[in-house]
Chains A and B, each alone.
Chain A
Amino acid sequence: MKLVGFIIVCLTGGLLLYGTGELPAWGDPNSPASTHLSDDYITLALEQTEAPNLVTAVLADYRGFDTMFETAVVFCAGLACFLLLRDFRPKKDHYYRHVPTGVMLHVKNEARTVRTGREFEDMDREWVPSDTIIKTVCRILIPFIQIYALYVVAHGDFSPGGGFQGGVIFGSSLILLAISYNLKTLVKRVTEKFLGVFSSLGVLVYVGIGAIAMALGGNFLDYGKYAPIFGEHHIRALGMLGVEIGVGMAVTAVMVIIYINIVSEGRHDEGL
């Protein structure tokens, strides 16, 4: 199998190497890719969309329909992870820790549970004492990461960044909370229902902005039609910000859903 694979790979690579002879020189300004359509995008985008970052202008305005379905793809990925892994059966063994003494309790009987509170707390099977340095540093760091994520979403049309990057950074700040404390802390603060609602709300914000533009008499995702409500000034950039917020919400929630489901095998009780 390895030999056959190697021969196939070499054959493909050889054919592609032969094909590079026809390609334009690397970085050639007069190559076909950068002479026809792209000139129009570069020269007209600022005038038409009022967003200096051309990538965001093309992503959220000219190709807004494309980006909407991409958000739907990300949402579907979260849904697929949920359907594949989520396991609603209650777990058989319970582990508790007596807080004053540090003694671990293992309850094998399904029916009997210990009430958690001051004296006892829920524990994972493979419990290790969490490190104070890591906990403190992460607690200080997480709000700054989240503010940076919001900055990235808000400045998507002026500087590199946008809904996807900001959403991923916000999601990873929540994942950092789960890693530095434990998974229960995250699940208690950000519940599963909230994540589900938040991810679908993100897609709904995007579609809603498009649909309301239609109701106001324009095309789907035609941000210019919002001018009577929000004013003429920078209206298209404002519309882009709206859809970026929708994308950010969906991506944040989906990243956390995928992480929680993979790391706890769908039981949402213990994990990394």
Chain B
Amino acid sequence: MPELLDLIVDKYNYWLYIVLMMIGLYAMIGKNNLIKKLVGMNIFQTAIILFYVSIGYKKGATIPIIQGDHGHGAADAVIKAADYINPLPHVLMLTAIVVSVATFGVAMALCVKIYQRYQTLEEDELRMRLSEK
């Protein structure tokens, strides 16, 4: 029984990230509205970003900003790697977030353009309008 509890404490975060990712994937496949699909895509993205950020987390470590005198005297102090959270996943994911807002903007522009031409954002109605022509 204690082994099961340990397993849950160690892994429950990963399980919830996967649930979040499943919600996003379902919205991308199952929803009919194009903007809902975009929301699903964004949820999927943030779930994966969350997974990456959590990889960098270390128990008992602090945020990745070196403590001390803004670099003047801090270089003399010994910096231990175990005291700071791994900064590498943060950098990669910061890039991913900014790219995600750029793609989101372009996707919204495409939605506005589609609405201008077909007067709808529903996938089935769009397919109907396309087959009419």
Chain A directly contacts chain B within the complex, with at least one CB pair under 8 Å: yes
Q: B87–A73 contact, CB under 8 A?
A: no
Q: For B95, list chain A residues within 8 Å (CB).
A: 59, 66-67, 70
Chain B at the A interface: SS class: helix
Q: A54–B22 contact, CB under 8 A?
A: no
Nearest B residue (CB) for A163: B98
Indicate whether B39 reaches chain A with its CB closer than 8 angstroms.
no
Q: B29–A84 contact, CB under 8 A?
A: no
Contact of B59 among A27, A54, A158 (CB under 8 A): A27
Q: For A73, list chain B residues within 8 Å (CB).
A: 99, 102
Q: B26–A6 contact, CB under 8 A?
A: yes
Q: For B13, list chain A residues within 8 Å (CB).
A: 26
Chain A at the B interface: SS class: helix
A-B contact count (CB 8 A): 167
Q: For A67, list chain B residues within 8 Å (CB).
A: 95
Separation of A26 and B88 alpha carbons in the complex (Å) = 17
Separation of A34 and B55 alpha carbons in the complex (Å) = 8
Contact of B102 among A8, A20, A77, A265 (CB under 8 A): A77
Contact of A5 among B26, B98, B112 (CB under 8 A): B26
Q: A43–B64 contact, CB under 8 A?
A: no
Q: What are 8 A-B contacts defined by CB distance under 8 Å?
A: A26-B12, A51-B71, A54-B84, A59-B91, A77-B106, A80-B109, A258-B106, A262-B112
Residue ranges of A at the interface with B (Cβ–Cβ < 8 Å): 1-2, 4-6, 8-10, 12-13, 16-17, 20-21, 23, 25-29, 31, 33-34, 37-39, 41-43, 45-47, 50-55, 57-59, 63, 66-67, 70, 73-74, 76-77, 80-81, 84-85, 158-160, 164, 168, 234, 237, 251, 254, 258, 261-262, 265
